[in-house]
Structure 1
Amino acid sequence: MAEQQAAICLRQLRFSYDGNSDVINIPQWTLESGQKCFVFGASGAGKSTLMNLLCGVLKPTAGDIQVFGQALTKMSARQRDRFRAKHIGVVFQQFNLIPYLTVAENIRLASWFAGKTTSSDDQNFQQRLLELVAALQLKPEVLHRPSRELSVGQQQRVAIVRALINQPELLIVDEPTSALDSYARDNFMQLLMSVCEQQRSSLLFVSHDLSLQSYFDVDVNLADINTAGGQ
């Protein structure tokens, strides 16, 4: 993908769950490549809905979503899934780890969904996995443990490793600090920013916690760009 393309470009974006009342109505909004953006708003403002639209989980009612120049709105569901696996890392609020799989197996799923199956890909995966584990201050032995045995903080870091394993150009993070105390939250933010800098990923961080704004290049109140007012 060309570096000069905006990370995210929205035009006349609308989304409704019931076909009548819009939850999202954003006439225009752009996130430049390389920016780290903090998106905030009250509960029910539509933050998680917007995140699911941007990563292709939801399809808009109308309008255009472009990620690094690629129109998600023109892709089939399968194409959006593959595009997300290759180019977008997502950290969900609930982490979405499969409890009975080991940490390594949970992370490998992201690589598999991106279509990386050759022996060369596997060597790259192992090297990258160990680098990310070290960067996020996890011990290598955690890779062999079922994810259900991990603490919340460990699950959080594993979710970031999984999101970053395919070296995405864009990282989208949804309310990851809501269950953490202030010390764990600040430690998490410092690690996240460090890894994004190393990987040169654009970052869209969705939260209601305004104390986190200082970590970001730009902040956006969703109410200022979403004329529908959320849900």
Structure 2
Amino acid sequence: MMRSWSFAARLIDEVARLLRCLGKHRYLQETDHRIHWTVDHVLKDLPAFAPHAAAFKALTAKNADLDVRSRDPRLWRAATADDAIGVLTAFWSGGDDAIARREELVRLFQEHELPIAEHDAFKSNPELPPFPELILFDWVLLPIDQLDADRHAGVLAALEGSTEEAHPSEPIYQEGPAFTIVELCEGAPLGILEDDMTIWSDGPYEYADYVFRGVSKAAKLPEPPVGLRDLDE
């Protein structure tokens, strides 16, 4: 079961620090971030995105049957945290360039008849993810039975009093919020999110909570993250 934690990250710089730190800690096994082709197309004037836009154009030229409106995994490419931060900066920064990019993204969706979600920014139903998601944030943490007694002593100590049923050999999966056209175009008016950033995690609550608190501290966020148990207190 996925549970959510909210992080005190509303400014672009705070979100950037959070995303980087989520991908750089001792409990991490792997990351898997993805960016949709429409984003690369809109940002093709930027050096970091131009090669990806060109590569996708070549892909469609070689595969005439590739439906750019589908869920074909080839429509998303692997990305780094810095790639994703570059997207958010390009769409959320103030100024005419950001406005033009948001308008171009809407135009591109209309041209290709891609569905434009109708939810409010960051308010989509987590049980029914909207389509298409334009940025995917996924992290995988080490299974409990792969934790080292010395290197990972913090989480192991936190787990000692857990009453939850654990599956020691299963990795811990974490994911960011859904980033659709709505979030890129309306998610951060004037470069500031209206609500705290939310990150989801499965696995034992104590494991995720310990890691998230460490990540928040490393990212130098003004307040620790808030999980469900904090709300119950």
Output the TM-score relative to the length of structure 2: 0.29
* Rg (Cα) greater in structure: 2
Which has the larger strand fraction?
A: 1
Output the TM-score relative to the length of structure 1: 0.29
Higher RCO (Cα < 8 Å, 6 or more apart): 2
